[in-house]
Homo-oligomer: A and B are copies of this chain.
Amino acid sequence: MGQSIIKLPGPIYIAGASTVVGHEEFAGPLGEYFDFHDPKDDTFGMDTWEKAESEMQRMAVGSLLGRSKLKDGDIAALFSGDLLNQCTGSAYGLLSYNIPFFGLYGACSTAAEGLCLGSLYAATVGGRVISAVSSHYCSAERQFRYPMEYGGQRPPTAQWTVTGAAAFLLSDQRESYYPRDVENECLPRITEVMPGISVDRGISDANNMGAAMAPAALDTLMRYFSESGLSPDAFDLIVTGDLGAEGSSILCDFARAAGLDIAAVHTDCGNMIYDAAATDKHAGGSGCGCSAVVTAGYLLHEMRAGRLRDILFLGTGALMSPMSVQQGQSIPGIAHLVRITTA
């Protein structure tokens, strides 16, 4: 049954994407691939961090609609989520759009969850779907860890919540609304998805999410390769988002022990977005926005330019809350897989 690869009845094209990031993400190695950033203070003109996050998500969807000259009525549905309590980053950010709305919660896996459900929806219902997510360092930090003003120390395994929002335009038609920044554009499409199963290996350190999520990524990868009969070198890239440095190393070690050598093709969005040497981001980036902006900004650009042709994107999430950790519960992880190809 469904514990399996879902081949979409037809390709769902990623017909456009838009990204909004904070100033630190813009200053990082992938800065040039992002569409918008706040050069000043990451408030995006708002008076609270939560409103700033909503504004980023509104900008991501708005600029996608603006560039494509599509109207609200041209979009069948919005799938969206974020890390804030009751997902208000999405609810308020996308309130101004007159488009059917599905709220998701998948922690940092939400971008992949939205691509899974959004592409299935576009394949079934037809038409176009937008999948959007956001995270903001300042709204996440005070909700999950300490007030910003406290200046808490972070252990080396801690990841840094990315200030970023992205929106993906999915379509059952072959159409393209990207800026003309590559020659001989290849249009990325989703052909397969594989939803994740929650996995809990007893990690209860909220400053080591990578370790909590790596077993879930391994579970999804093992199921994928076992069922597809493919080997990792069939892909240009297996990209997780976001295990960070610690979780990536655990994943590659576990996979090797299980007979699956992915080290040569594996990378992680959390390891790509910041310059590890120049900043104090410890184990790398995390948050819904991290894998979303790296994929929507950088990876799709490389696919469109023909430098990547077939990738597996695994969105990984830690399904905990500050209260569940305080109550001594360990941290379940989940990893949703999306195959994106131009081949």
Contact = CB atoms under 8 A, between A and B. Distances in A.
A200 interface: yes
21 contacts: A2-B76, A2-B99, A2-B100, A2-B129, A3-B73, A3-B99, A51-B327, A85-B85, A87-B319, A88-B323, A91-B320, A91-B332, A92-B324, A97-B198, A100-B195, A102-B104, A102-B116, A102-B195, A104-B104, A117-B117, A120-B120
Interface stretch (A19-27, A105-113, A250-258): A105-113
B127 A1 contact: yes
A334 interface: yes
Contact of A99 (B72, B87, B197, B319): B197
Given A50-B323, A198-B101, A323-B88, A73 B106 contact: no
A9 B123 CA distance: 12
A5 to B, nearest CB: 11
A6 interface: yes
A6 B297 CA distance: 32
Nearest to A327: B48
A1 B75 contact: yes
A322 B77 CA distance: 27
Interface in A319-340: 319-324, 327, 329, 332, 334
Contacts of A320: 86, 88, 91
B125 A95 contact: no
A94 B123 CA distance: 28
A215 B83 CA distance: 27
A104 B103 contact: yes
Question: Chain A interface mostly helix, strand, loop or mixed?
Answer: mixed
A124 interface: yes
A321 B86 contact: yes
Interface string A210-233: 000000000000000000000000
Given A121-B120, A321-B85, A323-B88, A103 B113 contact: yes
A84 B103 CA distance: 14
State the copy count for this chain: 2
A128 interface: yes
A315 to B, nearest CB: 12
A1 B76 contact: yes
Contact of A103 (B85, B105, B321): B105
Contacts of A129: 2
A122 to B, nearest CB: 9
Given A1-B74, A124-B124, 11 more contacts: A2-B77, A2-B129, A51-B329, A86-B321, A86-B324, A88-B319, A92-B329, A101-B334, A102-B104, A103-B334, A123-B124
A196 interface: yes
Contacts of A73: 1, 3
A155 B85 CA distance: 24
A224 B6 CA distance: 31
